[in-house]
A and B are shown apart, each in its own frame.
Chain A
Amino acid sequence: MNGLLPDVTALLPTMLGGLQTSLVLTVSSLLLGLPLGLLLSFGVVTPNRVLRWISVFFVEVGRGAPALVLLQLMYYGLPNVQITLSSLVSACLALTWTTAAYTAELIRGGIQAVPSGEVEGADALGLSAGDRLRFIVIPQGLRIALPSLMGFAVLLFQATSLAYTVAVPELMSQAYSTGSSTFKYLPAFIAAGILYAAISIPATWLSVLAEKRMSRHL
């Protein structure tokens, strides 16, 4: 146990590059996944049957399958159909899918929680259906969903640790290679854990804070 602390502190700076890749993966999956999630949240209730079934497929598989399965599906599967992507891009696609599927449900929940009085207010003023969606329902729905979307973002950041299985050089993968080259597995994984926690824990506090503020305003 004696040498553990110095080992960990010595390793921390060497892993910042991996942490950066983890964050890039998180942010790009969110940037692609959130708009898709918004579309899917309407897709799953559209009267158009074909669109609805496609949306339901993406949402159900994206939520029902472990992120690890989606990662491997993209990484091992896409070359089968002659699509070759870098491991970072294929991981980003897999996590975008997960993001879109989860956020679709969260956004739908937010939209359903928009108080009916606000919708009626818009109707009584004669706002068109499109305007009602654009100015009232979507902004309010997203606002209500914000705390849970923030909570999801933290889980997504943690899920990027699984991208090491498809050779993305992110934090976990860096810890693993450091561990196997120096045989100092424990310090390497503890250092990685500290870096993950340093981001996740404050981010979780933020989402809890957002939730408290939200419940005060509703």
Chain B
Amino acid sequence: MSRIAPVSTNLVVQVRNLAKAYGDHVVLRDVSLSVPEGSVTAMIGPSGAGKSTVLRCMNLLEKPDSGEIEIDGHLINAGAKVSARNLAALRRSAGMVFQHFNLFPHMSVLRNISLPQERVLGRSREEANAKSMELLTRMGLADKADQYPARCSGGQQQRIAIARALALGPRVMLFDEPTSALDPEVGVEVLEVMKELAAEGMTMIVVTHEMGFAANVADELVVMADGGIIESGDPHEVMSDPQHERTRRFLRAVLER
């Protein structure tokens, strides 16, 4: 299906001139990106291109050397000192889902989802648990509430991790290769949940190797290589008619596998 540009032009995420290097090794060079509300942005590219680093810089899990990040009106300038309050606000606005789930193994599934609500949003135990159960039910995992994460399959753990992030009511969800650690069949469960989220209008940025998801669900495709964005635009256009030689090489390698 062909899509017209999203109705809303309200930009939830804006990243400007992000740069980062470890010594001589340049990880990001001058990356800028805008994400309108309700849109899904897929980021693809060869490993080492800096996709995950961009995502991790957005909620300051990694600190960029320079540049600006603005999420839901919370502006952070890499050059200046970041106040704890501003950082907390930024992280509350952005929910993150990791490749390896990063659930807390010493807490039950329910506590994993409820604790952050209690500590970050100040919800009562009852409120938090009610919200957690609502999300778990939506994920089809209500019966896992009292289990420990280790007792759940990878696909279940990832859906729990998504529920944990959603419970804080984020304005944007950041997905860092959410299916890469999963068997293909199990990954489908997770992709289904992500599709539903997208259909409900959640703003999403997804670093992924799932070309099907990138082509069919994303509104915008961003191709990265060597620490920079080399191409971006409508997923179908970029995939069928890549402008850049580097993109062509990458797509050929992925699609002809």
Q: Which residues of A contact B (CB under 8 A)?
A: 117-118, 120-129, 131, 135-136, 139-140, 143, 217-218
Contact = CB atoms under 8 A, between A and B. Distances in A.
Contacts of A126: 88, 91-92, 116, 120, 168
Nearest to A119: B102
Interface string B119-132: 11000000000000
A117 B91 contact: no
A125 B120 contact: yes
A118 B91 CA distance: 16
A117 B88 contact: no
B106 A125 contact: no
B124 to A, nearest CB: 16
B104 A121 contact: yes
A120 B98 contact: yes
Given A124-B96, A135-B119, A139-B106, 20 more contacts: A117-B102, A118-B102, A118-B104, A118-B105, A120-B102, A122-B104, A123-B59, A123-B91, A124-B91, A124-B98, A125-B96, A125-B116, A125-B168, A126-B116, A129-B84, A131-B119, A136-B104, A140-B104, A140-B106, A217-B105
A99 to B, nearest CB: 24
A8 B204 CA distance: 75
B103 interface: yes
B61 A140 contact: no
Given A123-B91, A125-B165, A128-B88, A143 B120 contact: no
B206 interface: no
Contacts of B94: 124
Contacts of A125: 91, 96, 116, 120, 164-165, 168
Nearest to A124: B96
A145 to B, nearest CB: 13
A141 to B, nearest CB: 10
A128 to B, nearest CB: 7
A135 B115 contact: yes
Contacts of A128: 84, 88, 119
A217 B91 contact: no
A117 B105 CA distance: 11
A143 B150 CA distance: 15
Interface of B: 59, 61, 84, 88, 91-92, 94-96, 98, 100-106, 115-116, 119-120, 150, 161, 164-165, 168
Nearest to A121: B102
A125 B116 CA distance: 7
A140 B120 CA distance: 20
Nearest to B150: A217
Contacts of B115: 135
A152 to B, nearest CB: 21
Contact of A120 (B61, B84, B119, B120): B61
A136 B94 CA distance: 20
B100 to A, nearest CB: 5
A139 B119 CA distance: 16
6 contacts: A118-B105, A121-B104, A124-B61, A124-B102, A128-B88, A140-B104
B214 to A, nearest CB: 23
Contact of B61 (A123, A129, A143): A123
Contact of B119 (A118, A127, A217): A127
Nearest to B93: A126
A72 B106 CA distance: 42
5 interchain residue pairs of minimum CB distance: A121-B102, A126-B91, A124-B96, A117-B102, A125-B116
B23 to A, nearest CB: 21
Given A124-B61, A125-B164, A131-B119, A117 B98 contact: yes
B58 to A, nearest CB: 10
Nearest to A115: B102
B83 to A, nearest CB: 13
B103 A121 contact: yes
A135 B115 CA distance: 9
A143 B104 CA distance: 12
Given A117-B100, A118-B104, A124 B59 contact: yes
